[in-house]
Amino acid sequence: MKRVVRKKEKPLSDEELLLEDQPRSKDKKKEKTLEKKQSSKPEKEKVLEKEKSSKKEKEEIFKEEKPSKKKKKKSFPWGYAFCWVVLLSILSFGVYLILSNPTISKEEKPQVEEKEEPKVEEESKERRMSLVMVGDALIHGAVYYDAKKSNGTYDFTKMFTSIQKMIKPYDLKYYNQESIIGGGVPQHYPRLNSPDEIGKNLVSAGFNLVSLANNHALDQNESGILYSNAFWKKQKNVITAGTYSSWEERNALPVYEQNGITYAFLSYTMKTNGLTMPSGKEYLVNVYSKEQVKKDIEAVKEKGAEVIIVCMHWGEEYTHVPTKLQKEDATYLSSLGVNLIIGAHPHVIQPIAYVGDTLVIYSLGNFISAQKVLGLEKIIGLLVGLDIVVEEDGKVHFENMKTELLYTYYDNNNRNFKVYPFSELTDKILKNHDTIEKEYLEILSREV
């Protein structure tokens, strides 16, 4: 728009300039209206009116110069659009990483769990059975006299109440029946014969693995062996080894099963106190020979025995030191694949040691006897408990071995026989038992 300038006139105010810019037709009408109003109003009012009209005119001018908001066309929100594009790009890239990276993919998580599952299965394939062992049940006359009742029968139950509690948790519970259960009248040393009740009471206490091959096996001759074998066959869930009634029975060499583990239980003696078996009936007692034991072990292996337990009635009596022959035989048995050797006959405890991978308990000592007159060491025996573990690859090892010394108590009148674990002893039962325990436990760890 062009601005009108009047020569030699006073400069116009802003309001007047704005009015000058308006179309002339409008100016004339407004001027006439203003003149009329100004002429009728006082001076102050004229000034106020003039300011109001100027303000209105100014607003009208700005309305003309600026487009109406209603008519103004909205521009596209490019800033918001850009932000959304960036956000979607980041999300898309993240999804791509998750799908392409196997370490964080959801689909791969089950595979990680699957890799851990075989480890649990491998552990479950490891099998185990528990075994507890005590030594010789040597039933001298004083022992069975104390057990004799007024009606002529025998009851040994009270002698083993403490031991019964100790052996209860184990799968297999072993002892050596040193004095044969040969039928007829019980007999004392030197040709021992024990009443049936000792076997029945020990089975009732929980024992289920019994060695019968020892130097007293022939004390009651062939008839005693046959009676003993028949007696043990009547005892339910009891396994025996070492004496037999025929060649067929002797060569049967059964393999047993416990907790999914197959095992063989063999028993041999080095001698029979000079007593001999009838010709052709050498099956009656398993007398040890390298050739025979090798055949037997090979046979049970062929039948699938994973664990081989051999009871050896060996060594010299009343010594805590294994003989040279004991050590040689242990080495030989280990070479054949025997896993555990349980020793008897010395009537005192001897060390426990490994020969190769074979665990050798050289002697458990006496479980119960009346040999106090021969020395304290003859009435102190050993209880050993352990787990036999068969690994997935067939290897055998032992875990959780526990040892406890046992003491056979009886009074000066040869009465009140009872087998106590040392953990239950008091000075009233055995003076200085703490010192004695330390002394005897030291024997177990002596170098062989």
Please report whether residue 2 resides in a domain: no
Do 295 and 372 belong to one domain?
Answer: yes
Residue 72 domain-assigned? Answer: no
Are 51 and 107 contained in the same domain? no
- Over 60: is that where the pLDDT of 122 sits? no
| Band of residue 142 on the pLDDT scale cut at 50, 70, 90 | very high
- Structure confidence by residue, pLDDT tens digits, 347-356: 999 999 999 9
| pLDDT-above-70 percentage for the chain | 73
Residues 150 and 52 in one domain: no
Same domain as 137, residue 222 = yes
Domain membership of residue 185 (yes or no) is yes
**How does 259-279 read in b/e, with b if 16+ C-beta sit within 10 Å?**
eebbbbbbbbbbebeeeebee
Is 325 inside any structural domain?
A: yes
As a whole number, mean pLDDT of residues 63-67 equals 46
**Does residue 36 share a domain with residue 163?**
no
Domain finish residue from 94, 122, 150: 122
**Residues 31, 146 within the same domain:** no
Residues 172 and 306 in one domain: yes
Domain-located, residue 65:
no
**Quick one: DSSP state of residue 75?**
P
- Give pLDDT tens digits for 274-303: 999 999 999 999 999 999 999 999 999 999
Q: How far apart are CA 368 and CA 408, in angstroms?
A: 6
Q: Are residues 41 and 151 in the same domain?
A: no
Contact 263, 207 (CB under 8 A): no
Check whether 312 has a pLDDT greater than 80: yes
- pLDDT at position 90 is 72
Query: Residue 208 has what pLDDT?
Result: 98
Are residue 220 and residue 339 in the same domain, yes or no?
yes
Quick: pLDDT tens for 366-410: 999 999 989 999 999 999 999 999 999 999 999 999 999 999 999
Please tell me the distance from the alpha carbon of residue 180 to that of residue 169, in angstroms, as a whole number: 28
Assigned domain for 118 exists: yes
Query: Would you say 266 and 309 are in contact if contact means Cβ atoms under 8 Å apart?
Result: yes
Q: Is residue 262 located within the same domain as residue 282?
A: yes
Please count the structural domains in the chain. Answer: 3
* pTM across the whole model: 0.74
pLDDT of amino acid 123: 53
Angle in degrees, CA 216, 220, 225, rounded to 5: 85
The mean per-residue pLDDT over the stretch 85-96 comes to 65
Q: Which domain holds residue 94?
A: 79-122
In a domain, 21, yes or no: yes
The pLDDT of residue 125 is 87
- Of the pLDDT bands very low, low, confident and very high (cuts 50, 70, 90), residue 49 is low
Q: Residue 361 in contact with residue 338, Cβ under 8 Å? A: no
> What percent of the chain lies above the pLDDT cut of 90?
72
Residue type for 27, please?
D
- Regarding whether 118 and 34 lie in a shared domain, the answer is no
**Same domain flag for 198 and 260:** yes
- Asked if the structure places residue 29 within a domain, the reply is yes
Checking DSSP bridges between strand 396-409 and strand 352-355, what pairing results, if any? unpaired
108 confidence band (pLDDT: 50, 70, 90): very low
